[in-house]
Amino acid sequence: MENKEILEQVRATAQQWLASKIDNETKTSIINMLQNDEKELIESFYKMLEFGTGGLRGIMGVGTNRMNIYTVGMATQGLCNYLLKQFSHLDQIKVAIAHDCRHNSPLFTQTAANVFSANGIKAYVFDGLRPTPELSFAIRELGCQSGVVITASHNPKEYNGYKAYWEDGAQIIAPHDENIVNEVKNIK
């Protein structure tokens, strides 16, 4: 694919975001990239931030290839869809959510909690910073079916991440990882 084709595709994706129900600050950033920063526009929109085996991890910012409330929301909705299928026999599906001290971690935590709640999933949210092992313990102790920790671990400060855990308190593995990835890919 040539640069011109990539730029056309990226501009189309950015325009789709502008036409959607996103906040004004994000819209302003996209307009600025469209008018003044082709390189950043391409980096921000050339692909979807991929939900991999453990979840998401990427540079924070505006766009489909960045960690922001919209990509966190999509990942959480995909996880919700999968949990609702896997645990349809339960009266109440529960998750635990923890976060570290990274920039935007509390915002991403609240975003995930809101999406879980909107899907009828009970979200236990720690009231402050917590290490990942405490999330693993909470999942098992509270009888949760899943959990999320917002952290980018060892990555540079401009990164953040979203790691998903299963009911055993461990990071999600096969076949759940691939099934959740497929659910996330179905989110528009």
User: Contact 123/97 with Cβ under 8 angstroms?
Assistant: yes
Q: Which amino acid is at 51?
A: F
Q: Are residues 94 and 164 in the same domain?
A: yes
- Predicted confidence band at 153 (pLDDT cuts at 50, 70, 90)? confident
- Phi and psi at residue 38, to the nearest 5°: -60, -40
Secondary element (H or E) of residue 96:
strand 94-99
| Cβ-contact 80, 173 below 8 angstroms | no
Same domain as 104, residue 30: no
Answer whether 80's CB lies under 8 Å from 121's CB.
yes
102 plus 173 within the same structural domain: yes
Q: Give the CA-trace dihedral at 80, 146, 48, 173, to 10 degrees.
A: -130
Paired residues of 159 in beta bridges: 59
Separation CA 19–CA 22 (nearest Å): 8
Of the chain, the percentage scoring pLDDT greater than 70 comes to 98
- Does residue 1 have a pLDDT over 60? no
- Contacts with 180 (C-beta within 8 Å, 6 or more apart), sequence order: 51, 78, 79, 82, 164, 172
pLDDT digits (tens, 9 = 90+) for 6-65: 999 999 999 999 999 999 999 999 999 999 999 999 999 999 998 876 789 999 999 999
Mean pLDDT along residues 163-182? 93
Query: Are residues 52 and 41 located together in one domain of the fold?
Result: no
Quick one: pLDDT band at residue 157, thresholds 50, 70, 90? very high
Domain of 1, in residue numbers = 1-46
The answer to whether residues 109 and 167 belong to one domain is: yes
34 and 99 belong to one structural domain: no
Burial (CB count <10 Å: 0-12, 13-18, 19+), residue 134: middle
Q: For 59-113, how does the pLDDT look when each residue is reduced to its tens digit (9 = 90+)?
A: 999 999 999 999 999 999 999 999 999 999 999 999 999 999 999 999 999 999 9
* 188 has pLDDT over 80: no
Looking at residue 53, its pLDDT comes to 67
Instruction: Please check whether residues 168 and 118 belong to one and the same domain.
Output: yes
On whether both 42 and 27 belong to a single domain, the answer is: yes
Choose the catalytic residue: 88, 117, 146, 153.
Answer: 153
Task: Please report, in angstroms and rounded to a whole number, the separation of the first and last CA atoms in the chain.
Answer: 24
- The answer to whether residues 38 and 62 belong to one domain is no
pLDDT at 184 exceeding the cut of 70: yes
**pLDDT band at 166, cuts 50/70/90?**
very high
Mutual orientation of helices 3-19 and 38-45 as an angle, nearest 10°? 70
Average pLDDT, rounded, for the chain: 94
Give the DSSP letter string of 71-99. HHHHHHHHHHHHHHHHTTTSS--EEEEEE
Domain count of the fold of the chain = 2
Is there a catalytic annotation at residue 153? yes
